[in-house]
């Protein structure tokens, strides 16, 4: 048998039928839904008088449109958004689909809720009407986003017509320096290969630096791989990944556990497997990275200076830089560090987990949010929020002057109450810095949670390594 990549093994294990040389009918182990990509799919299902084939392998979450204001009861004031949530509730009730509804104590962002409750396991195919479904590759599951028509097909058949991807391997060896994180690493990678550098590929990460990452850090890495246009991201499951799953999946016990572990041990690329494209990076060269423009690949080390348009190699690059500079209101040649910010947002499916909140608390302990800065922390789920309160992290953040809010997607995208005004500059732990992403005219600088915390207490983009950090 010829050697296979992990990606090929996962696709082969889930192929119901081969359609042609490029397409297969793929079985989907789990389908996650949210309130904004599912309404049309359910409507189409009902028009055809079809039911949901396997309700228990579909899970829904209200996450994108929900307000995150502090308070026990959350009311969606916007009529259109309220209707989306009401329709999701009705559709899930009609078809027997589990739902983390607006006032569920465990409600949150699908890409946080799924793994933390043991729903994501190595070897699965997991899909969702959201591009950041690549997150689940951190556990050796093939996750990817789908469109509304595909959501309808999955609901009706639990399968998907799937076009095969090419394979890319990114090896990262060495050790991340103190003060740097998986967020800095993935921003560096995106900056190096470009926002279209992985288009058409499923990326497998490997190397000593990847193995050294916590599972939560791997979620961040795989989550943002889609910002290089990747169709998926994978990390072969190791002891850290399997331990993470087993702690959250009590149903995997006895003979089932033995069988699962035996299967999971096969989930790696064979030694001689061929990849279509390969890259290598040295983790020791990573610095804290911050985006300066309006695409995640417009990124620099925090020690860098804003680029000049005329330094780009082609006319398209020059136009892109000119437009980004006009939007972000930055001056070419100016230092990135020291750029004043007015808002800090910490949260999202990229960096809204407990590990991220611990990093923020470590930086802000004993400090105050700078005058003129509004700083928000939005946990990725109700479970994360409760754990942060038990650990005392919430108290540290509140004492420092942060708003401690309810879980949801919040200010990752301007689809709810949390929207920035024109010209407001935000240090953000999210995944996209597109024009208008956080509000019309709002300016987004992507960075790690620790870097965002440093910006909050200094009022400017600041190298977190320059701050004395408490390890209490």
124-145 mean pLDDT:
97
The answer to whether residue 360 scores a pLDDT higher than 90 is yes
Q: In the prediction, which pLDDT does 447 show?
A: 98
The answer to whether residue 72 scores a pLDDT higher than 70 is no
Domain range for 410: 291-466
Q: In the prediction, which pLDDT does 201 show?
A: 98
CA–chain centroid gap for 275, Å, is 25
87-99 mean pLDDT:
96
Residue 458 covered by a domain: yes
* Residues with Cβ within 8 Å of residue 411, at least 6 apart in sequence: 345, 347, 376, 378, 418, 419, 420, 426, 428, 430, 438
Residue 256 covered by a domain: no
State how many domains the chain has.
Answer: 2
Runs of H (alpha helix) within 409-459: 449-458
The answer to whether residue 124 scores a pLDDT higher than 90 is yes
pLDDT for 20-33, tens place per residue?
Answer: 999 999 999 999 99
What is the rounded CA–CA span in Å between residue 54 and residue 138? 25
* Residues with Cβ within 8 Å of residue 260, at least 6 apart in sequence: 121, 252
Q: Which of 30, 222, 32 is nearest to 108 (CA)?
A: 32
Q: In the prediction, which pLDDT does 85 show?
A: 92
Residue 313 covered by a domain: yes
Sign of the CA dihedral running 273, 284, 265, 6: negative
Residue 1 covered by a domain: no
Residue 328 covered by a domain: yes
What is the rounded CA–CA span in Å between residue 5 and residue 8? 5
Q: In the prediction, which pLDDT does 138 show?
A: 98
Residues 155 and 298 in one domain: no
Q: How far is CA 48 from CA 25, 42, 44, 153, 156, in A?
A: 21, 10, 6, 11, 10
Q: Which of 442, 349, 453, 350 is nearest to 401 (CA)?
A: 453
Residue 113 covered by a domain: yes
413-417 mean pLDDT:
89
The answer to whether residue 472 scores a pLDDT higher than 70 is no
pTM of the model: 0.97
* Residues with Cβ within 8 Å of residue 194, at least 6 apart in sequence: 228, 297
Q: In the prediction, which pLDDT does 111 show?
A: 97
The answer to whether residue 73 scores a pLDDT higher than 90 is no
Q: Print the SS3 string covering 17-39.
A: EECCCCEEEEECCEEEEECCCCH
Q: In the prediction, which pLDDT does 262 show?
A: 98
pLDDT for 373-407, tens place per residue?
Answer: 999 999 999 999 999 999 999 999 999 999 999 99
Residue 424 covered by a domain: yes
Residue 412 covered by a domain: yes
The answer to whether residue 194 scores a pLDDT higher than 60 is yes
Q: In the prediction, which pLDDT does 139 show?
A: 98
Q: Which residue among 115, 141, 162 closes a domain?
A: 162
178-200 mean pLDDT:
98
Q: Which residue among 162, 187, 220 closes a domain?
A: 162
What is the rounded CA–CA span in Å between residue 418 and residue 416? 6
Q: In the prediction, which pLDDT does 75 show?
A: 83
Residue 470: pLDDT band with limits 50, 70, 90? low
Percent share of the chain, pLDDT over 70? 99
pLDDT for 155-175, tens place per residue?
Answer: 999 999 999 999 999 999 999
The answer to whether residue 114 scores a pLDDT higher than 90 is yes
Q: Which residue among 137, 162, 187 closes a domain?
A: 162
Q: In the prediction, which pLDDT does 471 show?
A: 60
143-160 mean pLDDT:
95
Q: Which of 341, 310, 370 is nearest to 447 (CA)?
A: 341
The answer to whether residue 347 scores a pLDDT higher than 60 is yes
Block residue for tokens 């109450």: 417
Runs of H (alpha helix) within 265-353: 315-328, 348-351
Length of the chain: 472
* Residues with Cβ within 8 Å of residue 80, at least 6 apart in sequence: none
Percent share of the chain, pLDDT over 90? 92
| Cα radius of gyration rounded to whole Å, the chain | 22
The domain that holds 36 is classified in CATH as 3.30.499.10
pLDDT for 282-320, tens place per residue?
Answer: 999 999 999 999 999 999 999 999 999 998 889 999 999
């Amino acid at each position: 048998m010829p050697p296979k990549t992990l990606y090929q093994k996962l696709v082969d294990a889930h192929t119901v039928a081969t359609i042609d040389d490029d397409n297969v009918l793929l079985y989907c182990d789990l389908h996650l839904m949210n309130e904004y990509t599912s309404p049309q799919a359910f409507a189409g299902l009902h028009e055809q008088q079809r039911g949901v084939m396997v309700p228990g392998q579909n899970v829904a979450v209200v996450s994108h449109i929900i307000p995150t204001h502090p308070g026990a009861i959350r009311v969606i004031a916007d009529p259109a958004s309220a209707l989306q949530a009401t329709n999701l509730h009705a559709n899930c009730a009609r078809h027997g689909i589990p739902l983390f509804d607006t006032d569920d104590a465990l409600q949150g962002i699908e890409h946080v809720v799924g793994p933390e409750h043991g729903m994501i396991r190595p070897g699965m195919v997991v899909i969702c009407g959201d591009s950041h479904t690549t997150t689940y590759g951190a556990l050796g599951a093939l996750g990817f986003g789908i469109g509304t028509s595909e959501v309808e097909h999955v609901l009706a058949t639990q399968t998907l017509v799937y076009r095969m991807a090419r394979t890319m391997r990114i090896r990262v060896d060495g050790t991340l320096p103190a003060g740097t994180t998986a967020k800095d690493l993935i921003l560096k990678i995106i900056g190096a290969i470009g926002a279209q550098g992985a288009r058409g590929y499923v990326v497998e990460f490997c190397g000593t630096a990847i193995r050294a990452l916590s599972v939560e850090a791997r979620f961040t890495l795989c989550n943002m791989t889609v910002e290089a246009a990747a169709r998926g991201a994978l990390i072969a499951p190791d002891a850290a990944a399997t331990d993470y799953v087993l702690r959250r999946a009590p149903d995997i016990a006895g003979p089932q556990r033995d069988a699962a572990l035996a299967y999971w041990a096969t989930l790696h690329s064979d030694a001689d497997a061929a990849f279509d494209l390969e890259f290598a990076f040295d983790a020791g060269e990573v610095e804290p990275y911050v985006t300066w423009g309006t695409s995640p690949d417009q990124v620099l080390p925090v020690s860098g200076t804003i680029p000049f348009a005329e330094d780009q190699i082609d006319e398209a690059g020059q136009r892109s830089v000119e437009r980004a500079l006009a939007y972000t209101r930055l001056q070419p040649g100016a230092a990135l560090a020291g750029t004043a910010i007015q808002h800090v947002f910490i949260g999202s499916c990229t960096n809204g987990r407990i590990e991220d909140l611990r990093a923020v608390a470590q930086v802000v302990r004993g400090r105050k949010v700078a005058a003129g800065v509004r700083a928000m922390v939005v946990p990725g789920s109700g479970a994360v929020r409760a754990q942060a309160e038990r650990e005392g992290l919430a108290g540290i953040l509140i004492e420092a002057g942060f708003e401690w809010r309810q879980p949801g997607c919040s200010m990752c995208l301007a689809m709810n109450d949390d929207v920035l005004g024109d010209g407001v500059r935000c240090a953000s732990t999210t995944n996209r810095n597109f024009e208008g992403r956080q509000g019309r005219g709002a300016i987004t600088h992507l960075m790690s949670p620790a870097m965002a915390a440093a910006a909050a207490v200094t009022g400017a983009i600041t190298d977190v390594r320059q701050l004395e950090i408490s390890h209490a």
